Structure 1
Amino acid sequence: MKFRQIRNATLHIEYAGKKFLIDPWLAEKGALPGFGGTVNDHIRNPTAELPMSISEIVDVDVVILTHDHPDHWDNVAKESIPKDMLFFTQHEKDAQSIRSVGFNNVHILNETNYIDGITLIKTPGLHGSDNVLKDMKEILGDVSGIVFKHPDEKTLYIAGDTIWCQAVEDNLKKYNPDIVVVNSCDAKVIGGASIIMGKQDVYEVYKAAPNAIVIASHMESVNHATVSRKELREFLGKNHMTQRVLVPEDGESYSFA
């Protein structure tokens, strides 16, 4: 397995001979306004450049969209990815959105899916606390994660845009992943409520998966991020977590045999 952090939640995963692109957000730095209803919405997005060329990013076999939010799927991705690309989405609503711009090989993730010997498992999460979702359900919507399994590979769990919650804890217990990717910049809406993981959430994942490597993704790329890589690394150091928690820079890769 090879993991490469692109930017935000955009990842390259090489797994059992297939190349996967997760949540492609490919706009130029500062091309988009800040997200309304979130902190620091005066800052334009993305807040970081892509670390590699778009042609290299989209040179994959499969695209997986964990959910149809504008920092996971944008117009540049729609224009740059071949329209016959094999695409997986969490449900019909997202599939229809992708088909509506010309993609013709879009599939909905069932609970368990198979592709050339690879098992893909759709997992649940929560894009904020119950109180946040009560007020902002239409904006935050449904989210999903994905587990990769193959006899010759380590089990990989990409949690997606979720806070630490019972669903994530259950996923860790059920699938016992070797590698866990968590979106960790503590993005916040106005009022200060978190909608993805922050430092304490990463600590909860670390404790709940004592044999796993944890990778902190979705860092330093959106206006509503409130935790930097530097701050997270300091937290990891103080809590003696650095041996099992990785905080990649954009463009950085890891291989797992």
Structure 2
Amino acid sequence: MQLQLIRNATLKLAYGGATILVDPYFAPKHSLPSFTGRSQNPMVELPVAVEDILDGVELVIVSHLHTDHFDSVAKETMPKHWPLICQQGDESTIRQAGFTDVTPLAGEISWRGIRITRREGNHGTGAVLDKMGPVMGFTLEAEGEPSVYWAGDTVLYPPVLETIKAFEPDVIVTHSCGAMWDDTLIVMDAEQTVETAEVAPRATVIATHMEALDHATVSRDALRAHAASRRLSPERLLVPADGELLTLPAAR
């Protein structure tokens, strides 16, 4: 398996003989409004050209419709016939954008020998959870590949812990920037990311969704420092730079 962090939550995966694009967010630097007044978004440019990101893609997964996960540039540039998997309830909006092969993920599906299973997520707590709306995570399984749990835009809460315990993933992808909305955490912060690694001692945790949006509160360096203070091995928690390509070993 190869995983390339593009920017924010956008990933390009080589998995099970296929190339999968996750949560395409292609907006140019400073082309979208600020969330906090600190900076226009996104705060950094894409590390590679859009045409290079799209090259070879065979499947797209969109976890939810927030603009930093599926934006107008992606909608305009992605071929409309590509197969696209989304959470249940988003399919009509995506079809209205012109996409013709849209499959809502209600439970699990098999696509070209890859098992894709929907997982629960909470994009915040309390009243903010209603403002953020529904989101999903997912897991991937394929012969000869590591099992992957892409947690998505979620805080660490019981269903995430239950997924880790039941699924025992080889790889966990977290969103770890500590983004805040109305003074409420809406994705994992450094403490929750490290706790995720601690409850999955055999997994490699890959922290993404960092240093791209102005409502983030945790930097890559701060996350690494917190992990070191908890004596978490840097081999257990990977914090890739935008554009960085990681190669993960085959399943245990």
Shared fold, TM over 0.5 = yes
Supply the distance in 2 between the matched residues of 1:218 and 1:3 (Cα, whole angstroms). 14
Q: State yes or no: 1:89 paired with 2:86.
A: yes
State the AA in 1 paired with 2:142: H
Report SS of the residue matched to 2:159.
helix
Please say if residues 127 and 143 of structure 1, whose CA atoms lie closer than 8 Å, have aligned partners that are also in contact: yes
Identity score, percent? 39
The 8 Å contact of residues 6 and 250 in structure 1, kept in 2 or not, is answered as: yes
Structure 1: segments with no counterpart, 5+ residues = none
Counterparts of 1:85 and 1:11 in 2: how far apart (Å)? 17
Distance 1:201 1:129 in 2: 14
* Whole-Å separation in 1 of the counterparts to 2:196 and 2:38: 32
2:155, 2:188 within 8 Å by CA — same for their partners in 1? Answer: yes
Q: For 2:184, what is the secondary structure of its paired residue?
A: coil
- The corresponding residue for 2:102 is 106
Deviation at 1:110, TM superposition (A): 2.8
* SS of equivalent to 2:185: coil
Residue 42 of structure 1 and its aligned partner are, at CA, apart by 4.3
Q: Provide the residue aligned with 2:228 in structure 1.
A: 237
8 Å CA contact 1:19, 1:61 repeated in 2: yes
Distance between the aligned counterparts of 1:208 and 1:231, measured in 2? 21
Equivalent residue, structure 2, for 1:116: 112
CA contact (8 A) 1:30 1:45 kept: yes
Consecutive unaligned residues of structure 2, counting only runs of 5 or more, are: none
Corresponding residue for residue 204 of structure 1? 195
Partner of 2:59: 62
Describe the SS at the equivalent of 1:159. Answer: strand
Matches within 5 A, 1:17-96: 17-35=17-35, 40-59=36-55, 60-91=57-88, 93-96=89-92
| Superposed displacement of residue 130, structure 1 | 3.0
Give the CA RMSD over aligned residues. 1.0
The count of corresponding residues between Structure 1 and Structure 2 is: 247
Q: Which amino acid in structure 2 is aligned with residue 157 of structure 1?
A: Y
Find the counterpart in structure 1 of residue 185 from structure 2: 194
Question: Does the CA contact (< 8 Å) of 1:33 and 1:42 recur in 2?
Answer: no
Q: Runs of 4 or more off by more than 6 Å in structure 1?
A: none
Alignment of 1:129-168 (within 5 A): 129-133=125-129, 137=130, 139-168=131-160
Q: Distance in 2 between matches of 1:116 and 1:217?
A: 26
**Letter paired with 1:88:** I
Question: Where does residue 2 of structure 2 map in the other structure?
Answer: 2
Distance 1:120 1:243 in 2: 26
* Corresponding letter in the other structure for 1:94: D
- Cα deviation, residue 129, structure 1: 1.6
- Cα drift, residue 223 of structure 1: 1.1
Please report how far the alpha carbon of residue 97 of structure 1 lies from its aligned counterpart in structure 2 after TM superposition: 1.1
Contact 2:191–2:226 (CA under 8 A) maintained in structure 1: no
